């Protein structure tokens, strides 16, 4: 595999932040409000805390063999055939999730903005941009993230400033009423959307980052920036809309944006605000897709992954129409199936790889000279 | 080079197909709904919508004598069905994003409004920024059939009038959909809505004649607050009680209060700002509410003999006004207690103060509420006298 593409540590940090905000910003407030009521923001805080620990885990896996991506690492550590088999399931995971996100984009637009438009047309247009981005490579994606991030920050700040006059502090009182069990359940849901999918970034980090050590720091700060953004968003949803409305809405953040009204003049700007999550969802989707495409190329030992983007893009669009027959199915999937699916790759796989690595190194030390297998580059 | 140019033109042609949105609806395809009224007649919903006549509303070129808005109605079993059925009479499809007023008939409100609100919170076209009111003793349709002077669009008139009267007069509440739903669902707070009534002869109000005289024969007026229990209306509050509601729920911005002074004269003050704090407390298993109202006012109108040269006069007035405010609040409170409906959100205050205790009473809070001790403390301050000092009437006597 020729690896001529490198992104800077700063770009990586921005990608991490946008990736983690992704769809979380739109869907998570409703579920958290349902589980933890007015304490949803505490659950998010808890979730971000655990998320930071998970980043430590991902970095540990990434630093095992810094020149290899996750898929190559699996092949190296688990053996050729088992490694390839696990890689294929991982690629499937990334592709299905990418198509799920695509479904999500289509669903959001057809629910809130253009109900009569067929979802296919939205999905195809969005997928075109994603395929184009991935074809142009991770460097291009990272650079566009760098360009769009200030816009994201600007929209977010405008959002927060314009919504904050309507804050009612009583809405989050009494604080800490939810019992720990509910809080934990909410936090686990939060992690399943916010931190566990970050494992996909191991396809980029550290192999495609030019200064992996610096990127380590940015990995953390990216997750923290995303975490703070989400906590603010969740807190604002509850502070302004109240627990009941937040949990009843399918997209509470969008309803929140609808509340913006500055002096009966600056109002009805929610669609501008929606630009914010189109940015974050685009990067989340692109990175999932990038992971599945490069992963497949590496598993098949192909030098250049680019020719795979178009066929896989078509598959992704087709899958996006098939993954969920209706909205409720996607809710149930997100709340029941997703956690176990994502933790297979986001939690158990990294632990397994660390375990195998430690075991192998121990074995190597025992046999000191006889085996050079794992050292080969 | 040629290949690039060909590609460029191919992309350019593609652009032609990529213009505009799929579900676009141009302004001339829309029937902009500004007011909705719902009645229940023979177990069916009758939905009436007030639609802007764009040719008339546009304004400057002089009106052709047509009414600025028109009204359509239809009946059916569900709100959504009725609204779509209206396409059989409307020339265009109704567009709800600019809805301003939502009028419910009193009969419907007494039966329960929960069922009809779902459509309005589910449909993507609707926003939550319209006001909801209850028509007092009349069909809701009659309310939105009245033509109004000054504001061409009657719904806009109702909207701004409610906003202004809440700010400057107080005994009305401007409630929007999300707040109403929150209050219906909340266990420690019951909803209230402002009542609207027709002053004058409704038959005249429907015609253009209503706008042709200086003294408008028929007008729409807000009056009273409708008290709900969950989604069912259970009673009306009168003006004083309604003022009490504003006092107790921190809705009071500005209003005018009058007190008797001197020998059979009156004096009015203008409240310029007011802040209400509600604090719940549970002591030895007994809930208790403490309400602190801090109000500042200016002297607005002196219609009696009073010495405004001494500050002692103001202190006496302050005490009197404190009493007055307190009695308004107490009257509202006792009425609400009689109706067993916690419209002030005291249950939520108890919830905030002691979540554990709340768990034990929230199920039958309406039984606990009537015996809830509420201590109301008013701190009234008169700051300024207006542009004149002592009243010229005092000079008259001499």
**Does some domain include residue A352?**
no
Find the CATH number of the domain harbouring A113. 1.20.1740.10
Average pLDDT, chain A: 88
Q: Is B190 on the interface with A (CB under 8 A)?
A: no
pLDDT in tens, B117-142: 888 888 888 888 899 999 988 889 99
| pLDDT of B398 above 80 | no
Provide the domain limits for residue A47. 9-327
Average pLDDT, chain B: 86
Nearest by Cα to A230 from A20, A11, A65, A16:
A20
| pLDDT of A376 above 50 | no
- B344: helix, coil or strand? coil
Q: Strand pairing partners for B233?
A: B228
Q: Name every chain B residue with its beta carbon within 8 A of the beta carbon of A261.
A: 129
pLDDT band at B247 (very low <50, low <70, confident <90, very high): confident
**Does some domain include residue A186?**
yes
Nearest by Cα to A57 from A343, A363, A364:
A343
pLDDT band at A171 (very low <50, low <70, confident <90, very high): confident
pLDDT in tens, B55-81: 766 655 555 667 888 899 899 999 999
The whole-angstrom distance between B47's CA and the closest CA on chain A is 23
Q: Is B182 on the interface with A (CB under 8 A)?
A: yes
Q: Measure CB to CB from residue A115 to each of B124, B186, B355 and give the nearest one.
A: B124
Region B199-213: what's the mean pLDDT?
84
Q: How far apart are CA B64 and CA B299, in angstroms?
A: 48
* Domain B239-398, second-level architecture: 2-Layer Sandwich (3.30)
Say yes or no for a CB contact (<8 Å) between A170 and B124.
no
Q: Strand pairing partners for B225?
A: B194, B237
pLDDT at A362: 81
**Does some domain include residue A341?**
no
**Does some domain include residue A346?**
no
Region A52-67: what's the mean pLDDT?
90
Q: How far apart are CA A51 and CA A190, in angstroms?
A: 9
pLDDT at B192: 92
Q: Is B178 on the interface with A (CB under 8 A)?
A: yes
Q: Is B355 on the interface with A (CB under 8 A)?
A: yes
- Could you give the number of structural domains in chain A? 1
pLDDT band at A371 (very low <50, low <70, confident <90, very high): very low
Q: Measure CB to CB from residue B182 to each of A121, A242, A267 and give the nearest one.
A: A242
pLDDT at B217: 86
Interface of B with A in 83-112 (CB under 8 A): none
**Does some domain include residue A359?**
no
ipTM, two decimals, is: 0.78
Q: Is A182 on the interface with B (CB under 8 A)?
A: no
Q: Name every chain B residue with its beta carbon within 8 A of the beta carbon of A111.
A: 124
Q: Is A363 on the interface with B (CB under 8 A)?
A: no
Q: Measure CB to CB from residue A244 to each of B186, B353, B355 and give the nearest one.
A: B186
Are the C-beta atoms of A234 and A29 separated by less than 8 Å? yes
pLDDT band at A1 (very low <50, low <70, confident <90, very high): very low
Q: How far apart are CA A109 and CA A106, in angstroms?
A: 5
| pLDDT of A208 above 90 | no
CATH 3.30.300.210 residue spans of chain B: 239-398
pLDDT at B58: 63
Q: Measure CB to CB from residue A114 to each of B21, B129, B181 and give the nearest one.
A: B21
Say yes or no for a CB contact (<8 Å) between A245 and B129.
no
Peptide bond into A174 cis (omega under 30): yes
């Amino acid at each position: 595999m020729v690896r001529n593409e490198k992104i800077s540590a700063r770009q990586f940090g921005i990608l991490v932040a946008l990736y983690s905000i992704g769809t979380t910003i739109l869907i998570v407030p409703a579920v958290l409000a349902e589980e933890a009521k007015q304490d949803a923001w505490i659950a998010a805080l808890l979730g971000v805390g655990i998320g930071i620990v998970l980043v430590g885990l991902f970095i540990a896996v990434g630093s095992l063999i810094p020149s290899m991506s996750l898929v190559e690492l699996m092949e190296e550590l688990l053996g050729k055939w088992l490694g390839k088999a696990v890689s294929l399931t991982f690629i499937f995971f990334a592709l299905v999730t990418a198509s799920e996100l695509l479904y999500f984009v289509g669903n959001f637009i057809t629910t809130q903005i253009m109900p009569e438009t067929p979802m296919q047309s939205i999905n195809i247009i969005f997928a075109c941009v994603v395929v184009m981005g991935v074809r142009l490579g991770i460097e291009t994606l990272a650079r566009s993230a760098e360009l769009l991030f200030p816009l994201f920050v600007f929209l977010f700040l405008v959002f927060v400033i314009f919504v904050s006059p309507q804050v009612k502090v009583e809405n989050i009182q009494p604080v800490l009423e939810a019992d720990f069990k509910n809080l934990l359940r909410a936090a686990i849901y939060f992690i399943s959307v916010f931190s566990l999918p970050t494992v996909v970034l191991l396809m980029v980090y550290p192999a495609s980052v030019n200064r992996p050590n610096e990127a380590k720091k940015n990995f953390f700060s990216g997750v923290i920036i995303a975490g703070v953004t989400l906590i603010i968003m969740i807190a604002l949803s509850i502070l302004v809309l109240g627990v009941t409305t937040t949990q009843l809405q399918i997209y509470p953040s969008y309803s929140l944006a609808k509340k913006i009204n500055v002096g009966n003049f600056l109002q009805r700007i929610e669609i501008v605000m929606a630009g914010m999550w189109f940015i974050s969802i685009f990067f989340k989707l692109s990175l999932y897709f990038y992971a599945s495409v490069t992963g497949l190329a590496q598993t098949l030992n192909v030098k250049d992954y680019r020719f795979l983007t178009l066929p896989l893009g078509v598959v992704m669009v087709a899958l996006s129409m098939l993954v969920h027959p209706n909205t409720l199915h996607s809710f149930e999937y997100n709340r029941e199936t997703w956690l176990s699916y994502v933790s297979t790759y986001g939690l158990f796989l990294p632990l397994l790889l660390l375990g195998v690595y430690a075991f192998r190194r121990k074995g190597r030390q025992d046999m000191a000279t006889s085996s050079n297998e794992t050292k080969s580059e | 080079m040629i290949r690039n140019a060909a590609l460029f033109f191919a992309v350019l042609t593609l652009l032609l197909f990529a213009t505009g949105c799929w579900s676009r609806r141009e302004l001339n395809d829309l029937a902009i709904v500004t007011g909705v009224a719902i009645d229940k007649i023979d177990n069916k919903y009758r939905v009436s919508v007030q639609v802007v006549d764009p040719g008339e509303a546009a304004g400057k070129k002089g009106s052709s004598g047509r009414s600025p808005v028109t009204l359509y109605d239809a009946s059916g079993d569900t709100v959504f069905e009725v609204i779509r059925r209206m396409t059989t009479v409307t020339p265009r499809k109704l567009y709800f994003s600019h809805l301003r007023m939502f009028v419910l008939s009193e009969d419907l409100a007494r039966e329960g409004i929960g069922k009809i609100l779902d459509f309005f919170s589910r449909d993507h076209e609707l926003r939550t920024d319209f006001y909801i009111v209850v028509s007092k003793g009349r069909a809701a349709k009659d309310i939105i059939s009245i033509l109004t002077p000054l504001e061409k669009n009657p719904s806009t008139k109702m909207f701004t009038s409610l906003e202004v009267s809440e700010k400057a007069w107080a005994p009305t509440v401007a409630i929007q959909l999300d707040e109403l739903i929150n209050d219906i669902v909340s266990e420690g707070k019951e909803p209230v809505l402002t009542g609207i009534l027709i002053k004058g002869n409704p038959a005249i109000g429907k015609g253009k004649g209503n706008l042709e005289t200086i003294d408008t024969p028929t007008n729409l007026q807000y009056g009273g607050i409708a008290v709900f229990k969950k989604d069912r209306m259970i009673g009306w509050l009168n003006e004083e009680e309604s003022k009490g509601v504003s006092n107790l729920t921190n809705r009071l911005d500005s209003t005018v209060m009058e007190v008797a002074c001197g020998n059979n004269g009156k004096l009015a003050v203008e409240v310029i700002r007011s802040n209400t704090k509600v604090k719940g407390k549970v002591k030895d298993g007994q809930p208790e509410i403490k309400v602190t109202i801090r109000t500042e006012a200016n002297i607005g109108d002196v219609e009696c003999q009073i010495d405004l040269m001494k500050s002692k006069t103001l202190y006496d007035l302050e005490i009197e006004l404190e009493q007055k405010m307190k009695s308004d609040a107490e009257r509202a409170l006792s009425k609400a207690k009689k109706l067993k409906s916690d419209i002030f959100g005291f249950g939520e205050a108890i919830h905030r103060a002691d979540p554990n205790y709340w768990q034990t009473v929230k199920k039958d809070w309406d039984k606990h509420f009537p015996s809830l001790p509420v201590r109301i403390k008013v701190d009234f301050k008169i700051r300024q006298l207006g542009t004149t000092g002592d009243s010229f009437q005092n000079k008259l006597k001499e």
